[in-house]
Amino acid sequence: MELSRTIPSRKEVVVFYAIKKDFSTFGEAWRNGRAGAHNPLDKCDWCHMPFKDGDLIALAFCKNSRNKVLCQLCAARTGEKREAGGG
């Protein structure tokens, strides 16, 4: 599982070992929980699309990088074969 994009001077590839597609729902509780944090996690880490109330957030567990929050479109584009278990 991976996502890649070309940036003018380089190609960025992030490898995921698991994705939790139904990690959380974006809304007031999410904003309150992230209030005062350096990174409010209010947009997709990959495509930078802002989350709207009610959007389902995916959590991607990355190799050699911090975990990333993804929108459902980016989570689906990873071509994942293994989803993280719940609980």
Q: Is the pLDDT of residue 74 over 80?
A: yes
Looking at residues 45-53, what average pLDDT do you find?
94
**What amino acid occupies position 22?**
D
Give the whole-angstrom CA distance, residue 22 versus residue 7.
Answer: 29
Strand spans (E) along 1-87: 2-7, 10-25, 56-62, 68-70
Cross-strand pairs, 11: 6
Q: If you average pLDDT over every residue of the chain, what do you get?
A: 87
The whole model's pTM is what?
A: 0.77
Looking at residues 1-11, what average pLDDT do you find?
83
Rounded to the nearest 10°, the torsion over CA 25, 29, 63, 74 is: 30
